Amino acid sequence: MADLLTQARQQFEGVVEVISGDLATVKTGRAKPELVENVMVEAYPGTRLTLKELATISAPDPHQLVIKPWDQNILAAIEKGLAMSDVGLNPVVDSDIVRISIPVLTEERRKELVMLVNKKLEAGKNLLRRERQEIKNKVEEQKGQPNVSEDDIFRQVEELDKLTGEVMTKIDGMGKTKETELMRV
């Protein structure tokens, strides 16, 4: 019985990680390596790797990212991968590095991004609800098994609901933090 709650905790942590990763891709007008580190690049024929596997990514100031590949022969591939990605940034090759300027966000764009964050949060909450329902169904399937009383099932469902509430609060907090970050000029 405790195994199901442990399983729920692990699955909920996975959902939080997915949401966190999803929120990290939302541009806030500040340069952060997380914006581009998971962009896929065809570095060598038939080999696609993430940018963080191919280069060091740094933010020397709030409006610029610098990407320094370990192999200078893949500069063009990195530029192409960034240009083709959905991050919406314009890479510029500057001798042995790639520079990306992060434009300052307009008020209108900030509001659009807040709406995008809210959509991502809602999708994450829906994923959490589905995970919760699966675990709840497994708990309720224990009905009639030896050494499992109705009180045990009721307590497990209560604990599952409490855990779900805690994770929902955590997700809301992540959303508020991201929204504050977006609206900061």
Give the model confidence (pLDDT) of 96-125 as tens digits.
Answer: 889 988 877 788 888 888 898 999 999 999
Architecture of domain 33-101: 2-Layer Sandwich (3.30)
Q: Considering the chain, what is the average pLDDT of its residues?
A: 87
Give the span between the Cα atoms of 161 and 9, in whole angstroms: 11
Query: Rounded to an integer, what is the distance from CA 68 to the centroid of its chain?
Result: 24
Where are the domains positioned within the chain?
2-24+106-183, 33-101
- Give residue-wise pLDDT tens across range 131-179: 999 999 998 888 888 888 888 889 999 999 999 999 999 999 999 998 8
The pair of structure tokens assigned to 65 is 């990212």
- Give residue-wise pLDDT tens across range 43-96: 888 888 888 898 999 988 888 999 999 988 888 888 888 888 877 778 888 888
Give the span between the Cα atoms of 52 and 158, in whole angstroms: 42
Q: Residue 98: name the closest of 123, 75, 117 by CA.
A: 75
Q: Looking at the whole model, is its pTM more than 0.75?
A: no
The pair of structure tokens assigned to 9 is 């905790």
3: Cα within 13 Å, side-chain hemisphere = 3
Quote the DSSP letter at residue 157. Answer: H
Using the predicted structure, report yes or no on whether residue 185 has a pLDDT greater than 70: no
Please say whether the structural domain 2-24+106-183 has been given the CATH code 2.40.50.100. no
Give the span between the Cα atoms of 59 and 65, in whole angstroms: 5
- Tokens 């009383």 found at: 149
- What is the DSSP pairing of strand 47-50 with strand 91-94? unpaired
